[in-house]
Structure 1
Amino acid sequence: MRLTDPEKSLVFGRTALRLSKKTNYINGSAESHRILGIGYYYLGKNDRAISNYLTALASFKETRNLTGQAKVYNNIGNLYKEVNYEKALEYFQKALTIATKLDAPDIVAGHYLNIGIINYRTKDYELALKHTKKSYEIFLKLDNPTGVTLALQNTGVIYNKLNQHKKAEKILLEAYARAKEANLNSTIASINLTLVAIYMKFKNYSKADQYLKEGTRYAIIGKDTKLQSDYLKRAYELERKRKDYKQALLYLQKLYTQDSLELQTTISKKFGLFEEQSKFQAREKESAIKLEKAKTNRVVFTASIAISILAVLIIIILFLNVQKKAKTNHQLKILNEEISVQKENLDTVNQNLEKIIDERTRDLQIKNRKLSEYSSHLSHQIRGPVATMKGLMILEQENLIEDEEFIKEIGKCVNEVDDRIININDVLHNLSESGLIPRVVDKETKS
Structure 2
Amino acid sequence: MKIFNFLVFLFLICTSSTGYGSSVAYEGTKEDTSRVIELNILGNNSRLTDPQQTLEYANLALALARKLNYDNGIAEAYRVKGIGNYYKFQTDSAVQNYLESLNYFSRSGNLGGQAKVYNNIGNLYLTMTKDYGNALTYFRKAFVIAKKLNLQSLIAGLYLNIASTYQRQNFYTKSLEYYGKSYALFTELKITTGITQCLQNLSAVHKKLGHLETAEKYALEAIEKAKAVDENFTVASTNLTLSGIYVTMGKYREAQKAIDEGREYAGTDKNFKRDFLVISYTLESKRNNYKKAFEYLQQVYKEESELYSNDASEKYKLQEAKNKQEQIQKENELTIERQKNNILFVWASVIVSVLLVVVIVLLTGNVRKKAKTNKQLTALNLEISTQKENLDRINHNLEEIIDERTRDLKIKNKKLSEYSSHLSHQIRGPVATLKGLMNLDKEGLIDKDEVIQQMEKCVNDIDDKILHINDMLHDPHKYGFKSELHKDL
TM-score (normalised: structure 2): 0.58
Amino acid of the structure 1 residue aligned with 2:274: S
How far has the Cα of 1:288 moved from its partner? Answer: 8.6
Alignment of 1:166-177 (within 5 A): 166-177=213-224
Contact 1:119 1:127 in 2 (8 A): yes
- Higher relative contact order (CA closer than 8 Å, sequence separation 6+): 2
The correspondence for 1:27, drawn from 72, 77, 80, is 72
Match of 1:31, as an amino acid? E
- CA positional deviation for 1:285: 6.4
Distance 2:194 2:335 in 1: 44
State the shift of 1:287 in Å. Answer: 8.0
Deviation at 1:279, TM superposition (A): 3.6
| 1:381-396 map, 5 Å | none
Name 1:301's counterpart in structure 2.
none
Match in the other structure for 1:164: 211
**Equivalence for 2:232:** 185
CA shift at 1:276, angstroms? 2.6
The answer as to 2:137 corresponding to 1:77 is no
Per-residue deviation, 1:289: 9.4
Is 1:98 the counterpart of 2:98? The answer is no
Specify the alignment match of 1:47 in structure 2: 92
CA–CA distance in structure 2, aligned partners of residues 90 and 286 of structure 1: 21
C-alpha deviation, 1:283, in angstroms: 5.7
Pick aligned residue for 2:172 from 125, 146, 151: 125
Once the two structures are superposed, what CA deviation does each residue of 1:98-147 show, in whole Å capped at 9, x if it has no partner?
A: 11111121111000000000111111101100101000001101111111
For 1:103 and 1:288, locate their aligned partners in 2 and report how far apart those are by CA, in whole Å: 24
Q: Is residue 103–residue 328 contact of structure 2 (8 Å, CA) maintained in 1?
A: no
Provide the C-alpha distance between the structure 2 equivalents of 1:145 and 1:290, rounded to a whole number of angstroms.
Answer: 41
The answer (yes or no) to whether the contact 1:77–1:91 under 8 Å persists in 2 is yes
CA distance in 1, matches of 2:139, 2:106: 17
- Spell out, residue by residue over 1:367-404, the C-alpha distance to the aligned partner (whole angstroms, 9 max, x if none): xxxxxxxxxxxxxxxxxxxxxxxxxxxxxxxxxxxxxx
Candidates 193, 199, 207, aligned match of 2:254: 207
CA contact (8 A) 1:45 1:269 kept: no
Aligned partner of residue 37 in structure 1, secondary structure: helix
CA shift for structure 1 position 219: 1.3
Give, in whole Å, the separation in 1 of the partners of 2:116 and 2:149.
Answer: 12
Match for residue 302 of structure 1? none
| Partner amino acid, structure 2, of 1:69 | Q
Distance 2:337 2:187 in 1: 50
Q: 1:114 and 1:253 mapped to 2: Cα distance?
A: 33
Asked if structure 2 preserves the Cα contact closer than 8 Å seen for 1:51 and 1:277, the reply is no
Equivalent-residue separation in structure 2 for 1:91 and 1:210 (angstroms): 38
- Give the deviation of 1:284 after TM superposition: 6.0
Selected match of 1:241 from 263, 281, 286? 286
Deviations 1:26-62 (A, max 9, x none): 0000000000000111111111111111111121111
Q: Does 1:228 align with 2:291?
A: no
Match of 1:150 among 180, 197, 207: 197
Match of 2:319? 274
- 1:288 and 1:203 mapped to 2: Cα distance? 58
Show the counterpart of 2:55: 10
Greater radius of gyration (CA): 2
- Partner-residue secondary structure (3-state), 1:200: helix
SS of alignment partner, residue 178 of structure 2: helix
- Summarize deviations over 1:166-214 as a string: whole Å, max 9, x none: 0110111111100111110000011000100111111111110001011
Q: Equivalents in 2 of 1:266, 1:280: separation in Å? A: 20
Query: In terms of mean alpha carbon deviation, does 108-117 or 259-268 score higher?
Result: 259-268
CA contact (8 A) 1:13 1:35 kept: yes
CA distance in 1, matches of 2:338, 2:142: 33
For residues 394-433 of structure 1, the aligned pairs below 5 Å read none
Question: Which residue in the other structure is 1:37 paired with?
Answer: 82
Distance 1:290 1:158, change over 3 A: closer
Aligned partners of 2:174, 2:60: CA distance in 1, in Å? Answer: 41
Q: Is the 2:186–2:195 Cα contact (8 Å) retained in structure 1?
A: yes
1:264 partner amino acid: S
Q: Distance in 2 between matches of 1:48 and 1:87?
A: 19
Residues 289/162 of structure 1: CA separation in 2 closer, same or farther (3 Å cut): closer
Q: Distance in 2 between matches of 1:39 and 1:199?
A: 33
Does the residue aligned with 1:81 lie in a helix, a strand or coil? helix
2:162 matches 1:115: yes
**Pairs aligned (count):** 294
Aligned equivalents of 1:288 and 1:92: distance in 2?
21
Question: Structure 1 288/203 Cα, relative in aligned 2: closer, same or farther at 3 Å?
Answer: closer
Please give the root-mean-square deviation of Cα atoms over the aligned residues, in Å. 2.2
Contact 2:106-2:332 at 8 Å conserved across structures: no
Specify the alignment match of 2:363 in structure 1. none
Contact 1:199 1:208 in 2 (8 A): yes
Alpha-carbon separation, structure 2, partners of 1:263 and 1:8: 28
Distance 1:286 1:126, change over 3 A: closer
* TM-score, length-scaled by structure 1: 0.63
Q: Matched residues in 2 for 1:205 and 1:130: separation?
A: 32
CA contact (8 A) 1:172 1:195 kept: yes
**Take 1:288 and 1:23, find their aligned partners in 2: how far apart are those partners?**
25
Q: Which runs of 5+ in 1 are unaligned?
A: 299-447
Determine the C-alpha separation between the residues in 2 that align with 1:284 and 1:61: 8
Aligned to 2:303: 258
